[in-house]
Amino acid sequence: MMKIAILGAMPEEITPLLEILKVYEKHDYANNSYYTANYKNHELILAYSKIGKVNSTLSACVMIEKFKAEALLFTGVAGAFNPSLKIGDLLCATKLCQYDLDITAFGHPLGFVPGNEIFIKTDERLNSLALEVAKELGIKLHTGIIATGDEFICDEAKKEKIRSIFKADACEMEGASVALVCEALKVPCFILRAMSDEAGEKAEFDFDEFVVNSAKISANFVLKMCEKL
């Protein structure tokens, strides 16, 4: 039996999970709600992190430090940077960076601050498990680099700049901060994103339409992973 944290950025990203689980307890703490439930001999801790790096950092810390999570699975949506990624595709992050972490004025590369690496790696075992689950479900799972920042990207020039510097395949607003917390606290981390838009000029129009369906796909996927852990 493991204690597994499942984190999504928005209510839409954990609602499908709660609907499947049906029976759960709600815990209000640190201006957020956390849900605990039993599933396939595991204890799950679920929450939506709220949007952005600070909120997701706080939520991940609470799940690990207060609720004693032994692994963390992040499920949600992202904007596609890689032209081979289309809306609805699933991407598993092998590593993540913070594209808006900027002390380049001091001669450092974008995304770097002393004491941190530019890229934070996710857990190889969980990533391998995800590839097995994808094969069983008949789903193509892409792997690649995710860039995280406190901005919803819907600008082609910003998209191209971030992609060129970090070789990023997708962008979102929580993954790198969650991965950084997990690395520091030595908890295995998995980041799954379903592409909800293409992070270009019409991203804000695509997002609302696809977020609910993408979240359902991701939610089903991480529960299948829990069954195998």
Active-site position among 89, 169, 172, 197: 197
Partner residues linked to 25 by β-bridges: 36
Q: Is 12 a catalytic residue?
A: no
Q: Is 13 a catalytic residue?
A: yes
Active-site position among 13, 123, 169, 206: 13
The pair phi, psi for residue 131, each rounded to 5°, is: -65, -35
**Residues 126-131: contacts with CB under 8 Å, at least 24 apart:** 126/71, 126/73, 126/188, 126/189, 126/190, 126/225, 127/92, 127/94, 127/190, 129/225, 129/228, 129/229, 130/92, 130/190, 130/192, 130/221, 130/225, 131/92
Question: What's the first-to-final CA gap in the chain, in angstroms?
Answer: 9
Catalytic residue numbers, as ranges: 13, 197
